[in-house]
Structure 1
Amino acid sequence: MFKTIKNAWAIPDLRRKILFTLLIIVIFRFGSCIPVPFLNVDALRALMAQVESSGTALSYINMLSGGAFANATLFAMGITPYINSSIIMQLLTVAIPPLERMAKEGEEGRKKISTITRYVTVILGLIQGAAYYFYLRNSVATVNGKATSITLFNDGFAQIFSAFIIILCFTAGTALMMWLGEQINQKGIGNGISILLFAGIVARLPVTFGLLGTFLGQAFEMPSAYGQYFVLVPLFVLIFLVVIWVIVFMNDSERRIPVQYAKRVVGRKMYGGQSTHIPIKVSMSGVMPIIFASSILSIPSTIEFFMGRNAPTEGFGRALLDAFSSEGWIYCLLYFVLIILFDYFYVTIQYNPVEMANNLRQNNGTIPGIRPGKPTSDFIAKILSKLTLIGAIFLGVIALLPIIFSNLSGMHGLSIGGTSILILVGVALETVKQMESQMMMRHYKGFLD
């Protein structure tokens, strides 16, 4: 990886792309530090101290935004509205025939879908920003022993004006982040949205390392009470490195289906006759099943967080909330099952065995030993089912490993989980591959050389 970056830096064109990408990341981090107006910063900090260890959807959004959500900054909504918009449009493209036809129109159709995605992103950003504002307005934090409101104005015209400005700032930040991501796609290196996600998660790494240092400091100060941290902290680092290696290995793993193309004569020339393969990745769906599953399971704890003092303390309501707590075995079991289900669902949307079999037949291609048509589609579907199961189990283990380790060791509050590591490794590998492909294009020798 470092050799690839070094070689890319030596090419002036790629160096400009890398510097432009770094500039966008710097702008993103500046925006993540600029708070929106009309908020009590001290009360907000006291309130959001609970978010870090809440295990709710709020802590998840805070992780993806690089801590901007907890500080209610310009980029507090992060890139989550754009991700949600892209997922919604991807699902609607399969479900709604006009959108499906638009997606098959080529470049023009993709541009139209991208435009619709932008509008949906702004709408989702507006809804999410409004929800965040009302959450802050209805919350009370304790500062110096006194109950303090988060918003500065809670009555009359000033409240309406401040609400309008705060929600507008959140929405504008979402639109600006979407634009920054598109600028990286056009003038930088790597996928813009992925790069911004990567930068946000990397910004949380010092918090994690600082917390590990705190655990070690407790172990040195009180060995009798916290001596287990001498073993647990190095064990966490070791597990972190092993998980990275496993993710890299699974990311490059693929099942190659052999394909033989028949010979055909067109005029005086003969085409075809070559052997190739269809590569199908073991981990086809990436991090999306984990995002879907964690979003659904975090709804009960998020509702409890919004209820505050009104949350049930006993009875069925308390038992239900405890069952969906990230520290319970029911949560882990449901998390694992939902990841597998969403993995199958996502792969079903992405891959159509019947369409793949028809494309092979139209191009005079066959899988050795398999008849064209339905036998070919059944064969591909069987392979997809097996690979999906392997990939889903892999994602489930990666997602549950940090939760299980945290519950067993008592080291809560670590902001690096399975989703974070998957995003970090996936974006790094994707960016390096893009660098390699661009370097290969620039060093390609034409037929006149």
Structure 2
Amino acid sequence: IIEGFPAAVARTWESFLADQIQLIAVVFLVAILISITAAVVAMTMASRKIPVQIPRKVVGRGRIREGQKSFVPLRINSAGVMPIIFAQSFIVVPGTVAQFAGQTGGILDMISDIFQPGTVYYICYALLIIFFTYFYTAIIFNPVDLSENLKKQGAFIPGVKPGARTAEYIDRVLTRVTLPGSAYLAFIALVPFWIFAFFNIQTFFFGGTALLIVVGVGLDTVQQAQQHLLLRHYDGFMKKGRVKMRGRSQYS
């Protein structure tokens, strides 16, 4: 994805120099792409936090672990980029079958025309993305398992009984959270079609799938770098002897 981006930018610049693309179109395109990228970053990190209470507990040798308040994050986009990939795989089937059939003027030819980029294509594409978002989220996220893990740890959601009621509550919240997440994925998948068609730019196409992959990989890289820096910072404190066992001494 990143490898082909410089060449696409170069082709766009050549088209601009040849007066095939107007300056205002390039400026608006760059501004829109930056805005969409920022929105993708925000939505990728967005989550619904379910409060969790961990009660006070007596551990070995009479030690008491104080109660804690925590939360379980439910990401708005738990499914990632997979719903768009599934939708792309299904949306091309009718047109591909019609083209391989080789008939002209019949119903298959009409189906091939319908499933070209247009109103019907966009509606079907969006509905498939929404469907596969719920489908894939249900596969990768099991509220029953999460409820059982909370119960084993003695944690509970305030106002909700542990067990089946907790699983039902998590499933209800996840269903509500997935709706804006699926709409967001449909928008990200469709908006590049509209942008490049509106500005009539044919030199390159930066789809929603590529954008989601690049942003996801970038965020994972940043998180790993932060963890690595934090670990090195912690090791530095340990080597200097500034962090010692609790109860003996603090800073040397």
Aligned-residue CA RMSD (Å)? 2.1
CA positional deviation for 1:352: 1.1
1:314 correspondence with 2:105: yes
Shift of 1:302: 4.6
**Alpha-carbon offset, residue 211 of structure 1:** 3.4
**For 2:8 and 2:28, how far apart are their aligned partners in 1?**
14
Q: Give the SS at the match of 1:275.
A: strand
Identity %: 33
- Equivalence for 1:234: 27
How far residue 272 of structure 1 moved from its aligned partner, in angstroms, is 4.8
C-alpha change, 1:251 and 1:383, in structure 2 (3 Å) is same
Which protein, 1 or 2, shows the higher relative CO under an 8 Å CA cutoff with sep ≥ 6? 2
1:206-260 residue CA offsets vs partner (Å, 9 max, x unmatched): 23213322442343xxxxxx5x733322222111111110011112211111111
What is the CA-CA distance between 1:399 and the residue it aligns to?
Answer: 0.6
Residue 120 of structure 1 is matched in structure 2 by none
Alignment partner, residue 220 of structure 2: 430
CA distance in 1, matches of 2:15, 2:127: 33
Q: Which amino acid in the other structure matches residue 6 of structure 2?
A: P
Distance 2:135 2:155 in 1: 28
The residue identity in structure 2 corresponding to 1:296 is F
Does the Cα contact within 8 Å between 2:98 and 2:109 map onto a contact in 1? no
Q: Helix, strand or coil: the match of 1:206?
A: helix
- How has the CA–CA distance of structure 1 residues 316 and 215 changed in structure 2, closer, same or farther, with 3 Å as cutoff? farther
Aligned to 1:443: 233
Q: Deviations over 1:395-416 (max 9, x none)?
A: 1101100112233333235231
Query: Among residues 166, 172, 180, which one is paired with 1:376 in the alignment?
Result: 166
Q: Which residue of 2 aligns with 1:294?
A: 88
Q: 2:53 aligns with which of 255, 260, 264?
A: 260
Structure 1 residues 409 and 204: CA distance shift in structure 2, 3 A: same
1:314 CA drift (Å): 2.4
Give the distance between the partners of 2:221 and 2:98, measured in 1 at CA: 39
Over residues 366-385 of structure 1, what are the superposed CA-to-partner deviations in whole Å (9 max), with x where a residue is unaligned? 11111212221111111101
Describe the SS at the equivalent of 1:293: helix
1:342 — aligned with what? Answer: 132
The residue correspondences of 1:327-338 to structure 2 (distance < 5 A) are 327-338=117-128
Q: Output the amino acid matched with 2:58.
A: V
Indicate yes or no: 2:60 matched with 1:270. Answer: no
CA contact (8 A) 1:215 1:233 kept: no
Distance verdict in 2 for CA 1:328–1:256, change over 3 Å: same
8 A Cα contact 2:148 2:163, kept in partner? yes
CA contact (8 A) 1:354 1:374 kept: yes
Q: Which residue identity lines up with residue 253 of structure 1 in the other structure?
A: A
Whether 2:76 is the aligned partner of 1:282: answer yes
Q: Residues 280-336 of structure 1, C-alpha deviation per residue, up to 9 Å, x if partnerless?
A: 21111111111111122123445567x4xx8444221221111111x2211111111
- Residue 301 to residue 281, structure 1, CA distance change in 2 (3 Å): same
Q: Provide the C-alpha distance between the structure 2 equivalents of 1:367 and 1:281, rounded to a whole number of angstroms.
A: 18
Indicate if the aligned counterparts of 1:247 and 1:425 stay in contact, CA closer than 8 A: yes
Matching residue's letter, 1:360: L
TM-score by length of 2: 0.86
Q: CA deviation at 1:264?
A: 2.3
What secondary structure does 1:202 align onto? coil
Q: Distance in 2 between matches of 1:357 and 1:272?
A: 22
In the alignment, is residue 418 of structure 1 matched against residue 215 of structure 2? no
* Letter paired with 1:256: K
Name which of 140, 151, 158 aligns with 1:361: 151
1:207 equivalenced with 2:1 (yes/no):
no
Question: Runs of 4+ in structure 1 displaced over 6 angstroms?
Answer: none
Q: Is the alpha carbon distance of 1:398 and 1:367 closer, same or farther for their aligned partners in structure 2, counting shifts above 3 Å?
A: same
Q: Specify whether residues 311 and 240 from structure 1 end up closer, same or farther in structure 2 by C-alpha distance, changes over 3 A only.
A: farther
Q: Distance in 2 between matches of 1:214 and 1:302?
A: 34
Q: Contact (CA 8 Å) 2:98, 2:111: kept in 1 or not?
A: no
> 8 Å contact 2:87–2:128 — kept in the other structure?
yes
User: What TM-score, normalized by structure 1, do the two folds share?
Assistant: 0.50
Kept after mapping to 2: 8 A contact 1:207/1:415: no
Secondary structure, aligned partner of 2:162: coil
